[in-house]
Amino acid sequence: MAEAQGGRSLVVDAVTHRYPSGALAVENINLDIKGGEIIALLGPSGCGKTTLLRIIAGFIAQTQGRIIIGDDIVDALPPNRRAVGIVFQNYALFPHLSISENVGYGLAARGVDKASRQREAQRLLELVQLPAMAERLPRQLSGGQQQRVALARALAIKPSILLLDEPFAALDKNLRLDMQIEIKRLQRVSGITTLIVTHDQEEALSMADRVAVLGHGKLEQFGTPSDVYDRPQTLFVNTFVGSSNRMPGVVVSADRTAAKIRLDAGTEIIARPAGGALAEGRRVTVCIRPEHLQFVGDETGFAGVVGMSLPLGATVVHEVTTADGSGVKVSQARVGETRALENGAAVRLALLAPSLANAFPATL
Amino acid sequence: MGAAPASRDVTSHGMGLAAPLALFFLVFFVAPLLQLLWLSLHNDTAALHWGLGQYLHFLTDPFSLSVLGSTLLLGAEVTAVCLLLGFPIAWLHQRVGPRLQTIIILIVLLPLLTSVVVRTFAWIVILGRQGIINATLQSLGIIDTPLKLLYTQFGVVIALAQVQMPLMTLPLITALGRIDPNLDDASCSLGAGSWRTFFRIVLPLSLPGVIAGCTLTYAAAITAFITQSLIGGGQMLFMPMYLYQQASTLQNWPFASAISIIFLLAVLAVVSVFTTLGRMSRGYGGA
């Protein structure tokens, strides 16, 4: 994660924001983003991620804390002087201006003459692979094309930070993948520090160098995609990022790196104590991802009864009811003729490997 | 209805629903208008001799032309005042919370909830020689003798602007409400200040509302018989009063009819200029 060319760092320093009603929107958020990084701000709707984006852009003045871009504290600067480029969820292209005028708008605001503006707009439109669209109006373009224009428009002002607000939410699935690759390519070329706000975990994990997971206005975890996915620090992260079975259990013995846990479903497993050491006898919630469970032929693991089976293309997901009555999902790769499981068949399940489970202190 | 063919065009039923209103218009609007036109094409008051004499008379008479001119000018002034005062209110309406929005709408609609006659007399009380404005200014020592406000062009414009304000503000509120609020933020984040955002984004996109508001205000202002005659008084003559005098006092129905037709054409001309201006601008999103 070397310092990329041209990208400026962004520090969100202990930012707290309260709505006028007194409710907390975001609480004590700390993010230290290096120049040129792509960061995903991931969280469910209402978690405060859009508020944080608007604070960084300058549309909302935070109640407490500082925003530092490069070496400058920008809290006193209005949005039009922060040089932060934004791509809005609905693109927000100016409907009455041509594509070329849209892209050149920020340059016009900086007093750049018309000829240079048009040249620069054309160059950017070539960069986003829309060179022939300059004279069209936004409504004559498809959603994906409009997004490229919005991106070109944001890049035209040579922003120090690029903010993308749910950039792929309005695109259909195939186009979404194209645009994700496209944005990643443009980000590599320009080296601009980029912050993507999204509620889509796949998007966050595939696009970002690091992912900041937000829940209920608090920063739950800030780390690389594999950190967030494989070593979640909180139960919220474990269940929000990727899917996860939550199985109750009790600690048999534990040290800092591993805990032996007796699951209520009727087996003992080794799990990673995610939030630090766990005391013996403590009730815990163990998270096991569906793809980390497998059917076993011997008497190891725990017993269950197969309910529904959903073939999801590359994988088949089985819903299994365990002895204590809770349901777990098991994901099986579809290799050749996958053994069909009858509804009601008795099976035994075990972890693929030890320590693929994470244990969190039970909250109840 | 049971025997309707399978491929019947569902849209055709819409026309039938409009029939009662169409009939009403035919009997009470189109027919009198044609009668007016027929009457205006006679040279004598008894309507016996055909001719364009009434029109020639109007178009060669400096007095008549000056009445037409001052009426059209009055409309332009009232429209300008309404636009300049109404736009900030409509703009404000977009930027306040829902409770204040309700209050603004109420204030905007308030003039419509009182009778024109009452409102006009209120303006007489305000503008008169011993009225509220003159009394206040005199007691503050700013003026010695009362200002002449009533029976002036200024007085008529102010009173009409207040009376017609909702016709301007409501279309503007609708037009501004249709603009995506993200466009403001987008413009701002691209480095544009408030004025640039206003003139390059908000104003062009609100143009349909501006055109609608101007058309309604203009048409209402120049035909506002009561306010024009009560605030304008005897010295100021506008087309509606001129027409009334010719028809009612002088019983010169053919000339009054010609005045109506000319007035109607003049208004249509101004309105079509507004509309053409609107269509030429690209802010007219419907195209």
- pLDDT tens digits for B161-171? 998 999 999 99
Q: Which residue of A has its CA nearest to B205?
A: A96
Same domain, yes or no: A202 and A279: no
Q: Give Cα separations from A313 to A149, A342, B37 (angstroms).
A: 34, 19, 77
pLDDT at residue A1 greater than cutoff 80: no
Which of A80, A87, A97, A160 would best serve as a mutation to test chain B binding (most B beta carbons within 10 A)?
A: A80
pLDDT at residue A3 greater than cutoff 70: no
pLDDT at residue A59 greater than cutoff 90: yes
Same domain, yes or no: A93 and A161: yes
pLDDT at A13: 93
Is the residue at A3 inside a domain?
no
B150 conformational bin, left if phi > 0, alpha if psi -120 to 50, beta if neither? beta
Q: Are the beta carbons of A331 and A292 closer than 8 angstroms?
A: no
Q: Which residue of B has its CA nearest to A58?
A: B189
Q: Where are the alpha helices (DSSP H) in B128-152?
A: 132-139
Is the residue at A156 inside a domain?
yes
CB neighbour list of residue A2: distance below 8 Å, 6 or more residues apart: A36
Is the residue at A5 inside a domain?
no
Q: Which residue of A has its CA nearest to B194?
A: A80
Same domain, yes or no: A20 and A150: yes
Interface touch B200/A105, C-beta < 8 Å? yes
pLDDT at B48: 81
Question: Can you tell me the distance from the alpha carbon of B79 to that of B149, in angstroms, rounded to the nearest whole number?
Answer: 20
SS3 A69: strand
Rounded to 10 deg, the angle between the A143-156 and A173-190 helix axes is 20
pLDDT at A351: 87
pLDDT at residue B6 greater than cutoff 70: no
Identify all chain A residues contacting B208, using CB atoms and an 8 Å cutoff: none
Q: Which of residues 232-291 of A touch B (CB under 8 A)?
A: none
pLDDT at A2: 35
3-state helix, strand, coil in chain A (%, to 5): 25, 35, 40
pLDDT tens-digit map of B249-281: 888 899 999 999 999 999 899 889 888 887 776
Interface touch A92/B200, C-beta < 8 Å? no
CATH number of the structural domain spanning residue A269: 2.40.50.140
Q: Which residues pair with A331 in a beta bridge?
A: A317
Q: Which residue of B has its CA nearest to A162?
A: B189
Question: Can you tell me the distance from the alpha carbon of B209 to that of B170, in angstroms, rounded to the nearest whole number?
Answer: 8
Is the residue at A4 inside a domain?
no
What 8-state DSSP symbol labels residue B143? -
Q: Which residue in A138, A163, A161 sits closest to A149, CA to CA?
A: A138
Confirm or reject contact between A303 and chain B (CB < 8 A).
Answer: no
pLDDT at B2: 44
CB crowding B8-18: b at 16 or more within 10 Å, else e: eeeeeeeeeee
CB neighbour list of residue A265: distance below 8 Å, 6 or more residues apart: A247, A302, A303, A304, A322, A323, A324, A326, A328
What 8-state DSSP symbol labels residue A360? E
Backbone angles phi, psi at A227, to 5 degrees: -55, -50
Same domain, yes or no: A180 and A280: no
pLDDT at residue B44 greater than cutoff 70: yes
Question: Can you tell me the distance from the alpha carbon of A253 to that of A273, in angstroms, rounded to the nearest whole number?
Answer: 11
Q: Is B276 exposed, middle or buried (0-12, 13-18, 19+ CB in 10 A)?
A: exposed
The model's confidence at residue A316, banded by pLDDT at 50, 70 and 90, is: confident
Same domain, yes or no: A216 and A289: no
Domain that holds residue A256: 243-361
Is the residue at A206 inside a domain?
yes
Q: Which of residues 147-206 of B touch A (CB under 8 A)?
A: 180, 182-183, 185-193, 196, 200-201, 204-205
Interface touch B193/A109, C-beta < 8 Å? yes
* Nearest chain A Cα distance for residue B276, angstroms: 17
> Where a domain ends, among A212, A236, A260?
A236
SS3 B52: coil
Q: Which residue of A has its CA nearest to B203?
A: A96
Q: Which residue in A77, A4, A83, A86 sits closest to A38, CA to CA?
A: A4
Backbone angles phi, psi at A162, to 5 degrees: -115, 125
Interface touch B283/A79, C-beta < 8 Å? no
Confirm or reject contact between A170 and chain B (CB < 8 A).
Answer: no
For residues A23-34, average pLDDT = 92
Interface touch A109/B191, C-beta < 8 Å? yes
Neighbours of A102 (CB within 10 A): 28
pLDDT at A339: 63
pLDDT at residue B217 greater than cutoff 90: yes
Percent of chain A with pLDDT over 70: 97
Confirm or reject contact between A64 and chain B (CB < 8 A).
Answer: no
pLDDT tens-digit map of A132-159: 989 999 999 998 899 999 999 999 999 9
Q: Are the beta carbons of A302 and A322 closer than 8 angstroms?
A: yes
Q: What is the mean pLDDT of chain B?
A: 87
The model's confidence at residue A334, banded by pLDDT at 50, 70 and 90, is: confident
Is the residue at A16 inside a domain?
yes
Confirm or reject contact between B141 and chain A (CB < 8 A).
Answer: no
Same domain, yes or no: A223 and A261: no
pLDDT tens-digit map of A201-241: 888 998 999 999 999 999 999 999 999 998 999 999 998 99
Structural domains in chain B, CATH included, are 62-280 (1.10.3720.10)
Interface touch B196/A137, C-beta < 8 Å? no
Is the residue at A249 inside a domain?
yes
CB neighbour list of residue B18: distance below 8 Å, 6 or more residues apart: none
Reported residue count of chain B is 287
CATH number of the structural domain spanning residue A44: 3.40.50.300
Interface touch A105/B192, C-beta < 8 Å? yes
For residues A190-204, average pLDDT = 91
Q: Are the beta carbons of B138 and B130 closer than 8 angstroms?
A: no
Same domain, yes or no: A186 and A292: no
**Greater confidence, A264 or A2?**
A264
Interface touch B186/A88, C-beta < 8 Å? yes
Same domain, yes or no: A256 and A312: yes
For residues A77-91, average pLDDT = 91
Looking at the partner chain, which of A84, A94, A108 has a beta carbon nearest the beta carbon of B189?
A84
> Where a domain ends, among A181, A208, A236?
A236
Question: Can you tell me the distance from the alpha carbon of A56 to that of A48, in angstroms, rounded to the nearest whole number?
Answer: 12
Inter-chain contacts counted by CB atoms under 8 A, chains A and B: 72
> Where a domain ends, among A236, A255, A274?
A236
Confirm or reject contact between A138 and chain B (CB < 8 A).
Answer: no
Which of B180, B183, B188, B189 would best serve as a mutation to test chain A binding (most A beta carbons within 10 A)?
A: B189
Rounded to 10 deg, the angle between the B116-127 and B153-177 helix axes is 130
pLDDT at residue A5 greater than cutoff 60: no
Same domain, yes or no: A174 and A101: yes
pLDDT tens-digit map of A96-117: 999 999 999 999 999 999 999 9
Q: Which residue in B120, B134, B131, B135 sits closest to B231, CA to CA?
A: B120
Q: Which residue in A349, A353, A352, A357 sits closest to A295, CA to CA?
A: A349
Same domain, yes or no: A141 and A162: yes
Q: Are the beta carbons of A158 and A190 closer than 8 angstroms?
A: no
* Nearest chain B Cα distance for residue A129, angstroms: 21
Q: Which residue of B has its CA nearest to A94?
A: B183
Is the residue at A1 inside a domain?
no
Q: Which residue in A297, A299, A302 sits closest to A324, CA to CA?
A: A302
In chain A, the number of structural domains is 2
Same domain, yes or no: A252 and A216: no
pLDDT at B14: 67
pLDDT at residue A347 greater than cutoff 90: no
- Token match 């040129």: residue? A36
Q: Which of residues 22-61 of A touch B (CB under 8 A)?
A: 57-59
pLDDT tens-digit map of A252-287: 988 888 888 998 888 888 888 887 778 888 899 999
Interface touch B191/A153, C-beta < 8 Å? no
Percent of chain B with pLDDT over 90: 52
SS3 A242: coil
Q: Which residue in B207, B216, B215 sits closest to B271, CA to CA?
A: B215
Interface touch A86/B191, C-beta < 8 Å? no
Backbone angles phi, psi at A130, to 5 degrees: -130, 50
Identify all chain B residues contacting A85, using CB atoms and an 8 Å cutoff: 189-190
The model's confidence at residue A364, banded by pLDDT at 50, 70 and 90, is: low
The model's confidence at residue B238, banded by pLDDT at 50, 70 and 90, is: very high
Which of B100, B187, B190, B194 would best serve as a mutation to test chain A binding (most A beta carbons within 10 A)?
A: B190
For residues A304-308, average pLDDT = 88
pLDDT tens-digit map of B85-96: 999 999 999 889
The model's confidence at residue B287, banded by pLDDT at 50, 70 and 90, is: very low
Q: Which of residues 74-103 of A touch B (CB under 8 A)?
A: 78-86, 88, 90, 92-97
Neighbours of A14 (CB within 10 A): 12
* Nearest chain A Cα distance for residue B282, angstroms: 6
Q: Give Cα separations from B21 to B11, B28, B35 (angstroms).
A: 18, 10, 20
What 8-state DSSP symbol labels residue B28? I
pLDDT at B11: 60
pLDDT at A223: 94
Same domain, yes or no: A267 and A317: yes
pLDDT at B10: 60
